[in-house]
Structure 1
Amino acid sequence: MASNLTMDKARPQSSGDFLDFWHLHREVILVVAICFFSTAYMLYASLPTRRVVKKPLTRPVATAKLAPAKPVTITTEKSELSLEALPQDVVAHEPRRIKGELRKPDATRKASGSDSSRRTQVLVFYSSLTTTTEKIANDFARNLSASLEGDTEHKDIFFSPSVLDLAQIDYDEYFISPPKPTDSTIAVDYFYLFLIPSYNIDTINDNLLEHLQETHHDFRIDTAPLVGLLGYSVFGLGDREGWPTEEEGFCFQAKEVDRWMAKLTGRKRAYPLGMGDKKQDLTNRLGEWSEGVTDVLKLAATTGSLGEGVAGSGDADESDFEYASGDDDDEVVVEESAAPTKKNKKTKSNIDDVEDLGRIMKSNQADSNDSKGRAPIAIDFTTHSKPNAKKAAVQTVKEMVPKNSPTYASLTKQGYSIVGSHSGVKICRWTKSALRGRGSCYKYSFYGIASHQCMETTPSLSCSNKCVFCWRHGTNPVGTTWRWVVDPPEMIFDGVKAGHYQKIKMMRGVPGVRAERFAEAMRIRHCALSLVGEPIFYPHINEFLGMLHAERISSFLVCNAQHPDQLEALKAVTQLYVSIDASNKESLRKIDRPLHRDFWERFQRCLDILREKRFKHRTVFRLTLVKGFNVDDEVEGYAKLVEQGLPCFVEIKGVTYCGTSTSAGAGLSMANVPFYAEVTEFVTALNKKLEELGLDYGIAAEHAHSCCVLIASGRFRVDGKWHTRIDYTRFFELLEERGADGDWKPEDYMGAETPEWATWGNGGFDPRDERVDRKGRKIEAS
């Protein structure tokens, strides 16, 4: 009986009894459970099981007929296996991945700029139905070989170029991975060149494109298996008579080869896509492309690199997102207001240097801009107390933009190349746009300046204004007198040219860049002296202009009407601009924020000087419209300024929206940007007021894309047609015949008739170019 009672107590009768049982025997239970699962796992692992793998995704449907291909060979560390030799279940369930090998630059080559142990092999691929392209390819290869062999510095690092017919080769040997050299003791870098005619029938081109696409999407192969190539470039041959427009097919297959090779090589486009018409310009276009490719080949073979690039350079996918605030386009922009920041109580209030003005003004703008919108007080540096004589004796002349200064760091971050201590150069977004056949700026529509052949520079980064719409982010130095080191004009001229060409070269790999325009861009033909700062402030501006003209580079100089003495001493300029940002004294103080106390008197004197120069220079008033500042009820005031200065032209342009935040103190926002309809309304009203004053002016041209309209003097209207463009050849002839101080007038180098598409009412966009949005998508003409 006692034993039965004991058993009853041990047996759990309820949830409470079960918990008591668990707490009493949990150690034993856990040990037993662990032993059980361990034994079960060991037995399971020792059983002969088969791994199940999901089926691979179906490949994209082919759009063209594929040529018969040999079995793909998979390279592994131990052996090479043919897909046909593998069991079917392994082929289906155990795919091996082919990886592109990215060759790392050799340390010796990186340090010395060359590597004698490496050789470069150029492969020239072509396709041809009528043997025409075959002959061109062979001639091209012979010329390329002669050029490389004739260069004693580079001839030992190149093998003779090989010409390969795309109809005769095995694609797997060249387009799945870079070829393997026959001599394993020599390290070989391969460089691919393509000569591709376009056909509207099924040809080997279709097989090639299908193979490139299949290779890129093949799940067994890396998306960029040809990344080990040194580089590639494509040239297309076509006939515009058979293809009326590029969109309809001119060189379309060459474009596709270029696009897919960019993907397979990991963006190693060495030189822009070239295109030539067999009946028109093939010889010239092929010659330009060949010359450019040869230069890149020598660079790549000696350095192992295609050169310095830009963000997105060589991107396989089309993108035109280059309209950020940092892109200078010789335009003024308004920037989105930022939230007010907390003031630093420890900020110094004294001005140690002219450059500190930006910091002081920025920190005080929150207080100086009240609800009534009072303008900041102008500062005149010439009224400061005289420095101690002993200190002045030992004081050294400073550089305007020292290399270790925040100003230098900020400007270079924005894309400027600083030359010397006070000059700079930068390419604008219109240069990039023109290189890709997507339109030039308004200066092309008005004056015939090709943007990709225009250099934007300034010999002085300093300015005497702090305009509210200035997109320079307040980073450039300011001052009313030159108090810095003066660099010689020869050094500046050579430096800005080198900086400009270097930035153009950085565009080689950008998708869509046209080879012929890239070649043209390497010959500067125009110089816009605007950019940042005040170019006329530079003490040797006339000498600098003379160097430009000596190389037949036209000059377009922009000043802010605050330096009348320098303006009066200025010699010949192709076109002289003066910024007219307001029609009265108070508006000018508010919008330009000048540093000179006598800014209005200086402004008036500059207009009088411009009136005197109108028969010597092509003079231009540039009006920048900012809603809320200089648009409302100022038409009459602007008309009187035009009557005073009688310029050859008046450019009216709406301020451009930027998007970054540095103008909070100025109180600007998107609401201050006028619509194009508002700009045209203002232009129409101004033109009417000029007629009422009896002045012979008329609306001549427009560039709606830049929100810009041109009013011209009747002096440039011949037989009822506007002639706003410039005969640049004649301009330089006049300079050579009569000198910079010679007796000649703007009409003497007046150019041809303004194109119909650029005149008032026609938009002003060159129909030969393609207008796209910021993502590279074509904008249909309305």
Structure 2
Amino acid sequence: MEERQVEEKEIYNMLNQKLVKQGYHIIGNHSSVKKCYWNHAALVEGRFCYKGKFYGIESHRCIQLSVTNHWCWNACLHCWRLRPQDVGIEWNETRMPFADDPKEIVEKAIQEYRRIISGYKGRPGVSPQMYKEATMPKHVAISLTGEATLYPRLGELIREFHRRGISTFLVTRGVRPDVLANLEEEPNQIYISLESWDKESYNYFNRPLVPRAWELTLETLEMLPSFSSTTVYRITIVKGYNDNETALKGFARLVDIGRPDYIEVKAYMYVGASRGRLRLDNMPRHWEVKEVAKKLSELTGYPIVSESMPSRVVLLSKLEKPVRYGNAPVDWNSPDISAPGEYEDTA
């Protein structure tokens, strides 16, 4: 047993070093933090992420965190992150042989985030007040890489962030309904990532590595209305794959099941390892995303309430007003901007 644990730690260390080269900051054995494009844009240019516009998130105070750097139950074609399969390692060789203490992860995530943004102190153009606020993170997106619900102490982690006054946004593929149903504490918002609309498309595009992954996803969607958290479907549009009538009708059926508070229709981004599996012309322009969103709106009855051109995303919701988790100086009705966004370096 000890020999196997040593071998698994060596695999993790090797994969972690590859993440470091991609700009990830490793914390503990299986977690990481990475600076977001919008951390920089908010501090240097005063521009905020679409999540600021949609949900009030203050981009300069938001941590991007993974708690499962290399463990996922899917090998999605559009995934830009490092997959163990991309470096010749079987998925079950990266299973978590240990689980770091959630309090340690939270503490180290905050420390590492502060270290990341420390370079902005005194930088020309950076407001001292904005920098001071940035040293006191207010939000954490638990996503980044891997499947967060595979971390066995996720509920404790969420509770610890909340204890420190930090709002939590959990992104998941929905493959662990058992974990979500038994969280010690719910996140503030639950994102379900979707690219496929039925089992056949899911098996082709999302490449499940475990049996019944699609059925497990449906179980998660069925339980979404029971959460007190706000719920979001993030439908990533891959041009030429899921922007057709069949796919959109399938997504509409999934909306009927989960009845999310929000639907984000967002463009696939042609970056990272996905460039070896997909093409540049699979990445839609914003106007193309908006056309898809309009069709989905007609099929679901969810009106379009906002959009962000730089992030190529359109928001649908039946809520009369947004649930805001911060004080970003933008909202649903703020004029959209055509300034550069995270997609600019990909096209």
- TM-score w.r.t. length of structure 1: 0.41
Q: Choose the corresponding residue for 1:423, options 10, 23, 31.
A: 31
Equivalent in the alignment of 1:684: 294
Q: Choose the corresponding residue for 1:630, options 242, 245, 251.
A: 242
Equivalent in the alignment of 2:131: 518
Q: Choose the corresponding residue for 2:206, options 592, 602, 614.
A: 592
The answer to whether the 8 Å contact 2:150/2:176 transfers is: yes
Equivalent in the alignment of 2:81: 472
Matched residues in 2 for 1:754 and 1:404: separation? 41
The structure-2 alpha-carbon separation of the partners of 1:412 and 1:542, relative to structure 1 and needing over 3 Å to count, comes to same
SS at 1:689's partner residue? Answer: helix
SS at 2:141's partner residue? Answer: strand
Equivalent in the alignment of 1:459: 67
SS at 1:711's partner residue? Answer: strand
Matched residues in 1 for 2:9 and 2:79: separation? 19
Per-residue CA deviation, residues 306-325 of structure 1 (Å, 9 max, x unaligned), is: xxxxxxxxxxxxxxxxxxxx
Q: CA deviation at 1:406?
A: 2.7
Equivalent in the alignment of 1:497: 110
SS at 1:410's partner residue? Answer: helix
The answer to whether the 8 Å contact 2:65/2:142 transfers is: yes
The answer to whether the 8 Å contact 2:252/2:300 transfers is: yes
Q: CA deviation at 1:589?
A: 1.6
Residue 215 of structure 2 corresponds to residue 601 of structure 1? yes
Q: CA deviation at 1:652?
A: 0.6
Once superposed, what is the RMSD of the aligned Cα atoms? 2.8
Q: Choose the corresponding residue for 1:580, options 194, 217, 233.
A: 194
The answer to whether the 8 Å contact 1:525/1:554 transfers is: yes
Matched residues in 2 for 1:773 and 1:605: separation? 35
Matched residues in 2 for 1:756 and 1:622: separation? 21
- TM-score w.r.t. length of structure 2: 0.88
The answer to whether the 8 Å contact 1:400/1:421 transfers is: no
The answer to whether the 8 Å contact 2:64/2:140 transfers is: yes
The answer to whether the 8 Å contact 1:611/1:646 transfers is: yes
Matched residues in 1 for 2:108 and 2:209: separation? 30
The answer to whether the 8 Å contact 1:567/1:609 transfers is: no
SS at 1:639's partner residue? Answer: helix
The answer to whether the 8 Å contact 1:460/1:538 transfers is: yes
SS at 2:287's partner residue? Answer: helix
Per-residue CA deviation, residues 97-145 of structure 1 (Å, 9 max, x unaligned), is: xxxxxxxxxxxxxxxxxxxxxxxxxxxxxxxxxxxxxxxxxxxxxxxxx
The answer to whether the 8 Å contact 1:401/1:422 transfers is: no
Equivalent in the alignment of 1:82: none
Matched residues in 1 for 2:40 and 2:330: separation? 27
**Amino acid of the residue matched to residue 709 of structure 1?**
V
Matched residues in 1 for 2:326 and 2:117: separation? 23
SS at 1:421's partner residue? Answer: coil
The answer to whether the 8 Å contact 2:66/2:145 transfers is: yes
The structure-2 alpha-carbon separation of the partners of 1:465 and 1:514, relative to structure 1 and needing over 3 Å to count, comes to same
Matched residues in 2 for 1:449 and 1:523: separation? 13
Matched residues in 1 for 2:274 and 2:294: separation? 33
Equivalent in the alignment of 1:645: 258
SS at 1:556's partner residue? Answer: strand
**Amino acid of the residue matched to residue 100 of structure 2?**
D
The answer to whether the 8 Å contact 1:591/1:629 transfers is: no
Matched residues in 1 for 2:273 and 2:300: separation? 38
Q: Choose the corresponding residue for 1:724, options 313, 322, 346.
A: 322
Matched residues in 2 for 1:507 and 1:475: separation? 34
Equivalent in the alignment of 2:282: 672
**Amino acid of the residue matched to residue 430 of structure 1?**
W
Matched residues in 2 for 1:531 and 1:578: separation? 14
Equivalent in the alignment of 1:11: none
Structure with higher Rg: it is 1
**Amino acid of the residue matched to residue 333 of structure 2?**
E
Residue 301 of structure 2 corresponds to residue 756 of structure 1? no
The answer to whether the 8 Å contact 1:627/1:671 transfers is: yes
What runs of 5+ residues in structure 2 fail to find an aligned partner? 343-347
Equivalent in the alignment of 1:618: 230
Between the two structures, name the one with larger relative contact order (CA 8 Å, sep ≥ 6).
2
SS at 1:445's partner residue? Answer: helix
The answer to whether the 8 Å contact 1:399/1:422 transfers is: no
**Amino acid of the residue matched to residue 724 of structure 1?**
P
The structure-2 alpha-carbon separation of the partners of 1:432 and 1:727, relative to structure 1 and needing over 3 Å to count, comes to closer
Q: CA deviation at 1:486?
A: 1.5
More helix by share: 2
Give the count of matched residue pairs.
Answer: 336
Residue 49 of structure 2 corresponds to residue 441 of structure 1? yes
Matched residues in 1 for 2:314 and 2:30: separation? 33
Matched residues in 2 for 1:754 and 1:432: separation? 20
The structure-2 alpha-carbon separation of the partners of 1:398 and 1:510, relative to structure 1 and needing over 3 Å to count, comes to farther
Matched residues in 2 for 1:511 and 1:655: separation? 34
Matched residues in 1 for 2:115 and 2:313: separation? 30
Matched residues in 2 for 1:709 and 1:401: separation? 41
The structure-2 alpha-carbon separation of the partners of 1:673 and 1:646, relative to structure 1 and needing over 3 Å to count, comes to same
Q: Percent identity?
A: 31
Equivalent in the alignment of 1:712: 317
Equivalent in the alignment of 2:18: 410
Matched residues in 2 for 1:418 and 1:409: separation? 9
Equivalent in the alignment of 1:17: none
The structure-2 alpha-carbon separation of the partners of 1:495 and 1:402, relative to structure 1 and needing over 3 Å to count, comes to farther
Q: CA deviation at 1:754?
A: 4.3
**Amino acid of the residue matched to residue 700 of structure 1?**
V
Per-residue CA deviation, residues 365-393 of structure 1 (Å, 9 max, x unaligned), is: xxxxxxxxxxxxxxxxxxxxxxxxxxxx6
Matched residues in 1 for 2:326 and 2:50: separation? 17
Matched residues in 1 for 2:332 and 2:147: separation? 32
The answer to whether the 8 Å contact 1:562/1:599 transfers is: yes
Residue 187 of structure 2 corresponds to residue 553 of structure 1? no
Q: CA deviation at 1:497?
A: 1.0
The structure-2 alpha-carbon separation of the partners of 1:512 and 1:753, relative to structure 1 and needing over 3 Å to count, comes to closer
Q: CA deviation at 1:583?
A: 0.7
Q: CA deviation at 1:507?
A: 3.1
Matched residues in 1 for 2:127 and 2:146: separation? 32
The answer to whether the 8 Å contact 2:306/2:332 transfers is: no
**Amino acid of the residue matched to residue 474 of structure 1?**
R
